[in-house]
């Protein structure tokens, strides 16, 4: 059993993961691990193979594994035989032979995670495959909104920024739509997916229009590392797309919330007063990330 993406996961299965994740949050929304789960993976080792940078995803998976009693092995390209030219598949085959119980993989190639599921018997969890998907982020964002609003049904969510290069945007759009939310994609035209990619999502090209009537706004950074010939003038982007007190007062409803998958480029897509302000659910997202990843590891690996 693997977790590669949310595109083909149905609403019942997705809701089941969110319901299970609630077990790993206390009444105040803090991460917890009920006693019956604390050593549930005591004999399991998980390999975190991160070939792109990560803070929140990697650390939260490590913490989730530790809380369930599993050991974890972290590998990057530096200091391993990947640096010598060994393929990711050969690396994973060797680790599988050593008895690793799961691979949590982040890589810039969209097809790698799918390839590993075909070649290995060990469960694969996609922690981000290029600009493809980031399913655990989609789950934790859905969990965050469901805990805050009580339900996603009819919720109006705007995803704002560099949408076309964002695996988070893709997984969020899948997850939120399946659970009943109305998703709008917003950003400069060059940073939005063209045509009917991602389905019939509403697209807007003006920040005020994106914020007006939205219950939640998920803000994305500019992902220059995925640009192929695109040019974004930062000063112009800040002028037109940075969310500050003025635009919030002008365009957002009183109870609307702000989210961001991180890392936040402060002063670019979000000003400090918004990122740290009362509308921000950013740190709730971080906490919920540990809970959802405990739920994923427990569901996939506990026998």
pLDDT at 196: 65
Q: Is the dihedral of CA 6, 194, 144, 31 positive or negative?
A: positive
Helix (H, G, I), strand (E, B) or coil at 45: strand
Query: Which residues share a beta bridge with 258?
Result: 217, 280
Residue 104 corresponds to which tokens in the numbers above? 């949590």
Q: Which residues, listed in sequence order, are joined to residue 73 by a DSSP beta bridge?
A: 47
Residue 65: name the closest of 303, 301, 294, 299 by CA.
294
β pairing state of 45-50 and 182-186 = unpaired
What pLDDT, on a 0 to 100 scale, did the predictor assign at position 295? 99
The pair of structure tokens assigned to 278 is: 């009362």
Residue 232: per-residue pLDDT: 79
From 17, 20, 57, 52, select the one nearest 36 (Cα to Cα): 20
Can you give the pLDDT at residue 194?
81
The domains found in the chain, sorted by start residue, are 11-133+286-301 (3.40.50.1370), 135-281 (3.40.50.1370)
Residue 58 DSSP symbol: H
Per-residue model confidence as pLDDT tens for the chain (303 residues): 899 999 999 999 999 999 999 999 999 999 999 999 999 999 999 999 999 999 999 999 999 999 999 999 999 988 899 989 999 999 999 999 999 999 999 999 989 999 999 999 999 999 999 989 999 999 999 999 999 999 999 999 999 999 999 999 999 999 999 999 999 999 999 999 886 666 678 999 999 999 999 999 999 999 877 776 777 788 999 999 999 999 999 999 999 999 999 999 999 999 999 999 999 999 999 999 999 999 999 999 998
pTM of the model: 0.96
Q: Which residue has the tokens 């059993």?
A: 1
Closest CA to 253 of 212, 206, 210: 212
Residue 223: per-residue pLDDT: 85
């Amino acid at each position: 059993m693997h977790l590669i993406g949310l595109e083909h996961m149905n609403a019942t299965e997705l809701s089941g993961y969110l319901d299970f994740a609630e077990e790993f949050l206390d009444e105040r929304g803090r991460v917890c691990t009920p006693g019956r789960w604390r050593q549930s993976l005591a004999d399991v080792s998980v390999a975190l193979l991160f070939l792109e940078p990560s803070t929140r995803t990697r650390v939260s998976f490590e913490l989730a594994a530790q809380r369930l009693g599993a050991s974890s092995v972290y590998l990057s390209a530096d200091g391993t035989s990947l640096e010598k030219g060994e393929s990711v598949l050969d690396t994973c085959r060797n680790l599988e032979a050593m008895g690793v119980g799961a691979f949590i993989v982040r890589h810039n190639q969209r097809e790698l995670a799918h390839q590993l599921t075909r070649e290995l018997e060990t469960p694969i969890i996609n922690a981000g495959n290029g600009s493809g998907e980031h399913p655990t982020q989609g789950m934790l964002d859905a969990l965050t909104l469901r805990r805050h609003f009580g339900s996603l049904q009819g919720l109006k969510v705007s995803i704002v920024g560099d949408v076309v290069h964002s695996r988070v945007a893709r997984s969020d759009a899948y997850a939120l739509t399946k659970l009943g939310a109305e998703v709008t994609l917003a950003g400069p035209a060059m940073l939005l997916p063209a045509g009917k990619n991602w389905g019939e999502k509403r697209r807007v090209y003006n920040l005020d229009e994106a914020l007006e009537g939205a219950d939640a706004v998920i803000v994305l950074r500019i992902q220059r590392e995925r640009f192929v010939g695109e040019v974004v003038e930062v000063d112009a982007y800040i002028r037109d797309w940075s969310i500050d007190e003025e635009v919030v007062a002008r365009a957002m409803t009183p109870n609307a919330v702000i989210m961001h998958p991180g890392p936040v480029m402060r002063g670019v897509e979000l000003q400090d007063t918004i990122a740290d302000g009362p509308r921000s659910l950013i740190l709730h997202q971080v906490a919920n990330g540990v809970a959802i990843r405990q739920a994923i590891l427990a569901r996939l690996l506990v026998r």
